[in-house]
Amino acid sequence: MTGKTLKLMKLREEVCALHAELPKNNLVAWTSGNISARDPETNLVVIKPSGIKFEDLTPENMCVVDIDGNVVESDYKVSSDTASHCYIYRHMPHVYGVVHTHSRYATAFAAVGREIPCVTTAMGDEFGGPIPCGGFALIGGEAIGEQVVLALKDSTSPSCILQNHGVFATGPNAEAAVKAAVMTEDNAAIVWLALQIGTPLPIAKSEIAKLHYRYQNVYGQ
């Protein structure tokens, strides 16, 4: 596509740069994991091409699809999770960024089909409750997206894990979704460590709600 003006160059640059955060934060191995972002104006989605190494990703080789997953502009095969990312965007209007990883500790919880319980104040701040675990689904079509939407529907958490699979994190933009993916793995590791030395103590739901409210509404600049 040399010499041609590509669509959504700014969003391509943003999504490409954010992909570097996945290996940097030890969330992915080899070519696994992907990020997408939805453009608020056109509803087009920028997503990672399939099977390309993280260091070889460029704004130019990102794929652009419509919200139904049809390719709009791409020289490469789109990520195998594209249909599921698009399903999430169609069913969660407030979501503009989606991240998928098989990060280790969170995926260990997924392997046993167990939610990540909310047992630290930091988790209360960020997630407002447990990180739910959705059902099993096969890769390729929309089935994964369906399970993610079901898992997040009645949850305060921006991310979930899917049974036997890994992490799906969402956000009002791609960067927020990446942050949710990083925090999911960090909290999964803390809970996993706690489980080695004892039984994590639950925090009362009303206290979690207070933590979450303060963090989302008062904390920060």
CB of 32: closest distance to Zn ion in angstroms? 6
Q: How far is the CB of 40 from Zn ion (least distance, A)?
A: 26
Q: 125 catalytic, yes or no?
A: yes
Kindly tell me which of 158 and 166 has the beta carbon lying closer to Zn ion.
Answer: 166
Nearer of residues 166 and 171 to Zn ion, judged by Cβ: 166
What backbone phi and psi angles, to 5 degrees, belong to 182?
-65, -45
Q: Which residue is nearest to Zn ion (CB)?
A: 166
> Would you say 132 or 166 has its CB closer to Zn ion?
166
> SS3 for the chain, per residue?
CCCCCCCCHHHHHHHHHHHCHHHHCCCCCCCCCEEEEECCCCCCEEECECCCCHHHCCCCCCEEECCCCCEEECCCCECCCHHHHHHHHHHCCCCCEEEEECCHHHHHHHHCCCCECCCCHHHHHHHCCCECEECCCCCCCCHHHHHHHHHHCCCCCCEEEECCCEEEEEECCHHHHHHHHHHHHHHHHHHHHHHHHCCCCCCCHHHHHHHHHHHHHCCCC
Give the shortest CB-153-to-Zn ion separation in angstroms: 21
User: Is 87 annotated in the active site?
Assistant: no
* Beta-bridge mates of residue 64: 46, 73
Footprint on residues 149-168 left by Zn ion (CB under 5 A): 166
The catalytically annotated residue of 81, 105, 125, 186 is 125
Q: Which is nearer to Zn ion, 138 or 218 (CB)?
A: 138
Binding to Zn ion, residues 163-192 (CB under 5 A):
166
Q: How many of the chain's residues bind Zn ion (CB under 5 A)?
A: 1
Minimum gap (Å) between residue 197 Cβ and Zn ion: 31
Residue with Cβ nearer Zn ion (28 or 208): 28
Shortest approach of Zn ion to residue 165 CB, angstroms?
6
Which residues contact Zn ion (rule: CB under 5 A)?
166
**Active-site residue numbers?**
125, 219
